[in-house]
Structure 1
Amino acid sequence: MEIVKILTTTEIQGLEKWICDMYEKKYTGNIEPKRMRCVLDYSMNRRKQIINGELMKHENELLSDIVSFNDALKAAFLNMWELVSDIHKKINYEHRDIVASLWFDTNYPQKHPLSGEKSKVAYSQSTLWEALTDNDLHQEYSYGIYPSLYLDNIEKETFDNYIGISTKTPNWNEGLDTNLTKDLHLIMPFHDLFEHTMFALSDFIYVRDFHIEVNVKMDYKIHYK
């Protein structure tokens, strides 16, 4: 399989150029935001359907990249979990809350087959990536890759439970070839990206860089006589 050929067909290039053109018009104010979101939602979902439909014909050739991404994603979530745990231990105050979320890095994935000089498409891949990761437009990505991590998660459940691998069959491979992927131990965030967002499989399996956002809320009561 040559993934570059799959990702640079006339149909895909046309859709992606349309997405980039529409996204750049976001900054002109000439298109009503709700209409833009509807148009981009349709275009991005159509793009995902076409790309994934072709990639699934060569799923066995993508297994190593799927595994590598799943491992990196799990490590990133563990990093976030440990970061929140560490902050929790250091803040000795009862009325506080900690919320963390994990995002893809804003830079286009370096490992992507169309990254850098390898790309021959007539539009900016960075603009396409910016559109796909715009959490104002991409509603399924509005809180990041996966539902935010709250302090309650740390206090009431395990890390394995949080990422969905504490079950008897810890493998979130719905939508993939169940026989090929039966031993991959894919985590629930992988499933969410694959099944419930507008990212095509090829958009995220080459990602190795992530961004963690942590917000700490402190509730102080002050009384003056």
Structure 2
Amino acid sequence: MDIYKVFEDPRIKMLENDIASWNDHCRYTDVEKHVMKQLLRCRSNVLYELNVYDSDMHQLLVSFNDRLRKACAELYNKVMTTYEEYCNRTDSFGDFEVEGKIYLGAEYPNHHPLQTETAKQVWDALTQGGFEPLYDDGCAWSLHCSKEYPPEYGGCETFEKWIGMEDENDNWNEGLDREWSKDLHMIQPFHNLYDHCSFSLYDLIYVHDFDLEVHIQLERNVKYE
């Protein structure tokens, strides 16, 4: 896999220059947000055409999936620990809700071979711009637990169910070459990022950092941890 060749494609160079320029001067009007969303999706579609399904990509994608799964497990454990803590408290504060979200690290991945200002602007648009509503909840469906609605109510009674891996043979590999990816066992959060949020394989495989958020709402007040 020659990632430098991929990003030398004239279509990608043009799209990324446009994205960087719009992102640098964006005032977030409805028109500007629509243009940015279309540019990001066009970039994702072109990079999809340029996917290289070789052994290097296979190993990089396996490693990313493992890192994403570990980060999701950390968030899940934090949310469930917090939920149990508040369930066991004797304070009389009524109902409460614990919410957990996981995002790709806001900083441009320092493991990525391409360290240009344009690439960093594109990453900022993807992760911080708010141009893809589905990414507002992060890499996965946000976790919600409350006294009134325990984990099983929201379909997150187990970690495996939350990440879509109740069966050991589950594999969220839509959009990938099926034969090449048949043994990858990709988790649902990868599917969400790759199929629904305009991230390409070349964006994801170099991500090592994730941002975790746990919010606690007590009646009308929200406590951030």
TM-score normalised by structure 1 residue count: 0.86
Shift of the 180–67 alpha-carbon distance from structure 1 to 2, 3 Å rule, reads same
Query: Please, which of 62, 67, 87 is the counterpart of residue 67 of structure 1?
Result: 62
Distance 2:3 2:38 in 1: 23
Shift of the 159–179 alpha-carbon distance from structure 1 to 2, 3 Å rule, reads same
1:168, distance to aligned residue in structure 2 (A): 6.3
Counterpart code for 2:73: L
Query: Please, which of 114, 122, 139 is the counterpart of residue 128 of structure 1?
Result: 122
SS in 2 for 1:124: helix
Match for residue 207 of structure 1? 207
Kept after mapping to 2: 8 A contact 1:172/1:186? yes
Shift of the 106–43 alpha-carbon distance from structure 1 to 2, 3 Å rule, reads same
In structure 1, stretches of 5+ residues that fail to align are 221-225
Distance 1:184 1:202 in 2: 17
Kept after mapping to 2: 8 A contact 1:102/1:144? yes
| Identical residues among aligned pairs (%) | 30
What are the superposed Cα offsets for residues 179-219 of structure 1, whole Å, 9 maximum, x if unpaired? 22111111011111111111111111210100001110112
Match for residue 165 of structure 1? 165
Q: Which aligned pairs between 1:87-126 and structure 2 lie closer than 5 A?
A: 87-91=82-86, 92=89, 95-115=95-115, 119=116, 123-126=117-120
1:138 aligns with 2:148: no
The worse-fitting range, judged by mean Cα deviation, of 191-200 and 164-173 is 164-173
SS in 2 for 1:133: helix
Spell out structure 1 runs of 4+ moving beyond 3 A. 57-61
Counterpart code for 2:64: F
What are the superposed Cα offsets for residues 18-71 of structure 1, whole Å, 9 maximum, x if unpaired? 001111111xx4xx611111111111111111111111x434430101100000
TM-score normalised by structure 2 residue count: 0.86
Match for residue 40 of structure 1? 36
Distance 2:72 2:96 in 1: 22
